[in-house]
Amino acid sequence: MFKLVLLGFFLTTALLAHKVNLFVTHENNNVEIYSYFASGDACKGCKVTVKNDNKIVAEDRLNEEGKYQFISSYPTLNITVDASSGHLISKDILLETVPKEKLEEVLKEEKQNQYLNMGLSLVLIVLFFYGLKRVRKNA
């Protein structure tokens, strides 16, 4: 039973590694898109599509750092990053409300949250099986 739980933990962790994240900055009409996986690896060569009111404004691939830049005169955009194999993220963005965050700070915070989530998941799994053991013992 423990082996099954351990296998399940490693499989769910591997699934989260392929989650695609999207980070957008905007300054003086210059829009910078950065896409990365939950593991922190850049989404290299992923297809990016930028639309305004269902009209394609830009369509290209992310560079080796997972970044793409362009000049936008539109106030609202829909940005979609396709990492293939069903890994896709799409966000509607109002450029004037894009927060002035730095990419490094966001990545550091997400890494800390990842460790916290893994710890909480382990605690929940242990509590679940402890409760299951108590129910079987009382039955």
Could you give the angle at the alpha carbon of 32 between the alpha carbons of 86 and 95, nearest 5°? 95
The one-digit pLDDT tens for each residue of the chain (139 residues) are: 566 655 666 555 555 556 888 888 888 878 889 998 877 788 899 999 999 988 999 999 999 999 999 888 888 999 999 988 778 899 998 887 776 667 677 777 777 777 788 888 888 898 999 888 888 888 6
Specify the pLDDT at position 50: 93
In angstroms, the CA 100 to CA 66 distance is: 19
2-138 CATH: 2.60.40.10
Distance CA 6, CA 14 (A): 13
Q: Which residues pair with 91 in a beta bridge?
A: 79
Pairing of strands 88-94, 76-82: antiparallel
- Residue 41's pLDDT is 84
Q: Are 59 and 44 in contact (CB under 8 A)?
A: no
What residue segments make up the domains of the chain, in order of their start?
Answer: 2-138
The pLDDT tens digits of the residues spanning 21-45 come to 888 888 887 888 999 887 778 889 9
What is the model's pLDDT at position 117? 80
